[in-house]
Amino acid sequence: MGAHEPYRAPMDPRWEALAAEDPEIAELIVAEERRQRDKIRLIPSENYVSSAVLAATGSVLTNKYSEGYPGRRYYEGQQFIDQIETAAIERAKSLFGAEHANVQPYSGSPCNLAVYLAFLNPGDTVMGMALPHGGHLTHGWDVSVTGKWFRPVRYGVRKDTGRIDLDEVRDVAKREQPKLIWAGGTAVPRIIDFEAFAEIAAEVGAVFATDMAHIAGLIAGGAHPSPVPHADVVTTTTHKTLRGPRGAMLLSRAEHAKSLDRAVFPGLQGGPHNHTTAAIAVALREAATPGFATYAHAVVANAKVLAEGLVARGFDLVSGGTDNHLILVDLTTKGIPGKQAAKALDRAGIELNYNTVPFDPRKPFDPSGIRLGTPAVTSRGMGTEEMGRIAGWIDEIVSAPEDESLAAATAGEIAEFCRAFPAPGILIED
Ligand code: DSN
């Protein structure tokens, strides 16, 4: 075990095998488990999956190839894999009310690429939210293949409100005639008017795609409006608010099923990751329970209270607050850059992102803001009372980012605080 901390394997023969075979990696995994236990994790795209989801991802399904789709495979031995993938598909369709689902995309970016391959030719125009305003790389940002091989045009938020300006969206769409319009993003704290986007897309004859990766769990739990009735295609990762494994899904109208399926396989991918498919199925079953709906509503309630706690302490929130799980803070008025704040908070036991804010004069690698959210803390049972405490800790550290003794004392206090809120899937005790 060398110089590392003492390692206590959980009572699981597979873990014991890992510890015996490769103690270096075993120790690092356990160290990460301990880190996830002892910190307040506020990265809005992260969560804690259940032990059931973890068990499925760590299963023998990783041994199996299954190119194709259930009933139409290029490999033998699919007796059980077909049933697993079919269960995942049916659960996805039922949970989100979709006519078609594809659960094979490896993750969010390849999932979004499948939309391009299904509907566009290279050089066609794609319209998405600008990355610094909260969009995603794959919605046509310059450095992404989607901005290099297609012609990107963009919309953003208004400077005075921090919210999407639908008049601007309509103007850009009419002027640029995109073939594909994206809604959704990675730093959007407000509800998106999916119906209005669909109307604009219909006016210009564009395909309307929504990337609901951040909010999929809130939608599943009934705590956020759904894009499914309005969009031609909806993409999502499965590991954010939805609380599944690292994977992705496409949902669409039946008319687009064939072209999307062909785009995923054989257009972009080979064999699906069957262990992920099984874990997606498990997560979707969990997401259909009343307990998940309670969680989804609590995520939003917690975010609102955390946002209010920050506003009360003089923080400048983009759009003034939140409707979902995510809060974007412009730290300019606090006189500290986002990265310095995020690093100081991490040392103090609070993990969040440094992030650009709309119209940010600073560079993306050293921006003006921080991005935080409540999915993970809600999954471990923290409620509105705890959000007030978290806002207080954030304020203390951001006000004294170089005070290392304060950071160390706060980290200890937070580790102790976290012990009262056992996290799903975290078994380590020492
Ligand atoms: N990496 C994701 C996020 O953190 O929002 C987006 O791809």
What pLDDT digit, counting tens, does each position of 106-118 carry?
999 999 999 999 9
Atom 6 of ligand 1 has which residue's CA nearest to it? 186
3-state secondary structure the chain: CCCCCCCCCCCCHHHHHHHHHCHHHHHHHHHHHHHHHHCEECCCCCCCCCHHHHHHHCCHHHHCCCCEECCEECCCCCCCHHHHHHHHHHHHHHHHCCCEEECCCCCHHHHHHHHHHHHCCCCCEEEEECHHHCCCHHHCCCCCHHHHCCEEEEECECCCCCCECHHHHHHHHHHHCCCEEEEECCCCCCCCCHHHHHHHHHHHCCEEEEECCCCHHHHHCCCCCCCCCCCCEEEEECCCCCCCCCCEEEEECHHHHHHHHHHHHHHHCCCCCHHHHHHHHHHHHHHCCHHHHHHHHHHHHHHHHHHHHHHHCCCEEHHHCCCCCEEEEECHHHCCCHHHHHHHHHHCCEECEEECCCCCCCCCCCCCEEEEECHHHHHCCCCHHHHHHHHHHHHHHHHCCCCHHHHHHHHHHHHHHHCCCCCCCCCCCC
- Indicate if the pLDDT at residue 380 is higher than 50: yes
Residue 4 reports pLDDT greater than 60: no
Ligand 1 centroid, distance to 11 Cα (angstroms)? 34
Residue 6 has pLDDT above 50, yes or no: no
The reply to whether ligand 1 has any atom less than 6 angstroms from the CB of 47 is no
241 CA distance to ligand 1 centroid (A)? 12
Catalytic positions are 65, 67, 211, 237, 240, 246
- Cα of 188 to ligand 1 centre, how many Å? 12
Q: What is the pLDDT of residue 202?
A: 98
Q: Give the pLDDT score at 428.
A: 86
Ligand 1 center to residue 12 CA distance, Å? Answer: 32
> What pLDDT does 180 receive?
98
Judge whether residue 8 has pLDDT over 60: no
Our answer on whether the CB atom of 108 is closer than 6 Å to any ligand 1 atom is yes
186 Cβ closer than 6 Å to some ligand 1 atom: yes
pLDDT at 13 over 90: no
Banded model confidence at residue 5, pLDDT cuts 50, 70, 90: very low
Q: What is the whole-number distance in angstroms between the Cα of residue 370 and the centre of ligand 1? A: 14
pLDDT at position 375 is 99
pLDDT of residue 277 exceeding 80, the answer is yes
CB of 138 shorter than 6 A to ligand 1: no
| Domain range 57-287, CATH architecture | 3-Layer(aba) Sandwich (3.40)
Q: Is the pLDDT of residue 10 over 70?
A: no
Name the pTM for this structure: 0.96
Stretch(es) of the chain classified as CATH 3.90.1150.10: 298-418
Percentage of residues of the chain with pLDDT beyond 90: 95
pLDDT digits (tens, 9 = 90+) for 187-232: 999 999 999 999 999 999 999 999 999 999 999 999 999 999 999 9
Looking at domain 298-418, its CATH class is alpha beta
Tell me which residue has its CA closest to atom 4 in ligand 1: 45
Residues of the chain with CATH 3.40.640.10: 57-287
The answer on pLDDT for 2 being more than 50 is no
- Which pLDDT tens digit goes with each residue over 281-303? 999 999 999 999 999 999 999 99
Ligand 1 within 6 A of 269 CB? Answer: no
